[in-house]
């Protein structure tokens, strides 16, 4: 294959190098485009064809349904690793040995407290506030309590910032839920595993011991692993672009949380459950909703279907579908919502509209069903996604800063008015 791409504009030819990744993906390096062409730019709304960076963290092949973190397949990681090992892998590039993992966990635990004044901020929110808005605000507020900006050239400072946020974030998640439920705000226990501690912090009632359920621990661990990174998606790109101005880690994460909130991204897991509930309330007629999804004059979309990158199947959805059936079976939950979900996916998988457009169930089609069985309120679903995505965001932010990437600043094609003289207010 040639090592360059040639572009012809108005009879002038320009060569641009081709860059090949470790998985043989090819990119045209257009860094010099504007300079050599005298200002010609590319236009690519939604960045469907634009690589914003080189990254060594996550590989995904949407056609083949492959997802790997640092070279390890999502299937193996979901089966054999725990969330903290995966977090370490994503952030530092290698699976930790026992000693490294113990130190990592112990350092995280040292930071598993937040300034008590955070409670006052939380208090100021109405109970009706959406947990994602609260979480984004609290994460941003952490900056005020930890104001020193990270010197990214210091490995020690970078490490400290990472363990600090991994320690504090689950507290913010748990408090966000507890505040909504009117439960007292408390800390976890340093004797517990990372995921067990999260469950205890979320669910412990003040009047009784919290009894760990290994099925729930395992299910949450798996869900967090499946959500831990997904290369340059909307929220991760937001974290990277925010951090590219050298804004700190916590505020960059807060920006990512806001981006994740939307129903076309992380908010889809809430939207899926609400959609399934609506279908149930409406008599469970899945065919009616399939027709609505296909009707171009109807804004309804089948939430949890389709993906910007996966055009074959979402490997996470496969794992999670099995997990959902296991969890519901183990807990003895009979949920009519699961039957509606199964019905919809079976119909969609053989419907030409969905087949032709390569629309398959994505990870969020099933995650909400598990969260619901675990007793997590629907409005918290996207918060749980943020909890899982945290190590990915951190890893991507770290990579961006370590590679000394330039500030993110896309171009545009201006299509507005050309120059016009100012009109006095009396003449308008």
Residue ranges that bind ligand ACO, judged by CB under 6 A: 264-266, 268, 293, 301-308, 357, 359, 362-364
β pairing state of 58-61 and 26-28: unpaired
C-alpha 297, offset from chain centre? 30
Cβ-in-10-Å burial (0-12, 13-18, 19+) of 418 comes to exposed
Task: Tell the smallest beta-carbon distance from residue 226 to ligand ACO (Å).
Answer: 10
Instruction: With beta carbons less than 8 A apart as the criterion, state whether 348 and 302 touch.
Output: yes
* Residue number with CB closer to ligand ACO (200 or 362): 362
* Residue number with CB closer to ligand ACO (162 or 359): 359
Q: Considering only CA atoms, which of 288, 268, 266 is closest in space to residue 279?
A: 288
Residues designated catalytic: 307, 364
Residue number closest to ligand ACO, CB atom: 306
Task: Tell the smallest beta-carbon distance from residue 308 to ligand ACO (Å).
Answer: 4
* Residue number with CB closer to ligand ACO (147 or 299): 299
* Residue number with CB closer to ligand ACO (167 or 368): 368
Q: Considering only CA atoms, which of 218, 179, 219 is closest in space to residue 202?
A: 179
Buried b (16+ CB within 10 A) or exposed e, 258-294: bbbbebebbbbbbbbbbbbeebeeeeeebeebbeebb
Task: Tell the smallest beta-carbon distance from residue 392 to ligand ACO (Å).
Answer: 12
- CB 221: neighbour CB atoms within 10 A? 22
Place of tokens 């998985």: 23
Task: Tell the smallest beta-carbon distance from residue 354 to ligand ACO (Å).
Answer: 7
Report the number of secondary-structure helices (H) and strands (E) in the chain: 18, 6
What is the residue-wise DSSP string for 328-373? HHHHT---HHHHHHHHHHHHHHH-HHHHHTT--B-HHHHHHHHHHH
Task: Tell the smallest beta-carbon distance from residue 268 to ligand ACO (Å).
Answer: 3
* Residue number with CB closer to ligand ACO (389 or 401): 389
């Amino acid at each position: 294959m040639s090592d360059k791409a040639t572009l012809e504009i108005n009879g002038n030819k320009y060569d641009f190098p081709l860059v090949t990744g470790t998985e043989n993906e090819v990119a045209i390096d257009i860094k010099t485009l504007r300079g050599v062409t005298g200002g010609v730019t590319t236009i690519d709304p939604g960045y469907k064809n634009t690589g914003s960076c080189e990254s060594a963290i996550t590989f995904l092949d949407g056609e083949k349904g492959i997802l790997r973190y640092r070279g390890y397949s999502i299937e193996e990681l979901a089966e054999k690793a725990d969330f903290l090992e995966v977090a370490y892998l994503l952030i530092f590039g290698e699976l930790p040995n026992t000693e490294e993992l113990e130190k990592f966990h112990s350092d995280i635990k040292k930071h598993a407290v937040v300034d008590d004044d955070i409670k006052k901020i939380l208090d100021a929110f109405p109970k009706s506030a959406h947990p994602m808005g609260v979480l984004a605000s609290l994460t941003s507020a952490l900056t005020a309590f930890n104001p020193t900006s990270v010197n990214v050239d210091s490995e020690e400072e970078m490490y400290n910032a990472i363990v600090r946020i991994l320690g504090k974030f689950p507290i913010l998640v748990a408090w966000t839920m507890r505040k909504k439920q009117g439960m007292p705000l408390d800390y976890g226990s340093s004797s517990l595993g990372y995921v067990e501690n999260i469950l205890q912090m979320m669910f412990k009632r003040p009047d009784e011991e919290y009894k760990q359920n290994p099925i729930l621990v395992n299910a949450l661990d798996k869900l967090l692993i499946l959500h831990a990174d997904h290369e340059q998606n909307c929220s991760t790109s937001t974290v990277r672009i925010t951090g590219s101005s050298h804004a700190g880690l916590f505020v960059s994460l807060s920006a990512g949380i806001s981006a994740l909130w939307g129903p076309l991204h992380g908010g889809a897991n809430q939207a899926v459950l609400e959609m399934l509930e609506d279908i149930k309330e409406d008599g469970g007629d899945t065919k009616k909703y399939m027709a609505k999804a296909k009707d171009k004059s109807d804004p309804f979309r089948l939430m949890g279907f389709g993906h910007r990158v996966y055009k074959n199947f979402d490997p996470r959805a496969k794992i999670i579908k099995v997990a959902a059936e296991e969890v519901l079976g183990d807990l003895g939950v009979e949920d009519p919502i699961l039957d509606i979900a199964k019905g919809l996916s079976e119909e969609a998988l053989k419907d030409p509209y969905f087949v032709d457009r390569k629309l398959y169930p994505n990870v969020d089609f099933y995650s909400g069903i598990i969260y619901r069985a675990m007793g997590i309120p629907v409005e918290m679903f996207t918060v749980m996604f943020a909890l899982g995505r945290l190590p990915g965001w951190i890893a991507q932010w770290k990579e961006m800063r370590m590679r000394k990437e330039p500030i993110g600043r896309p171009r545009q094609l201006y299509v507005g008015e050309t120059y016009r003289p100012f009109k006095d207010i009396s003449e308008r």
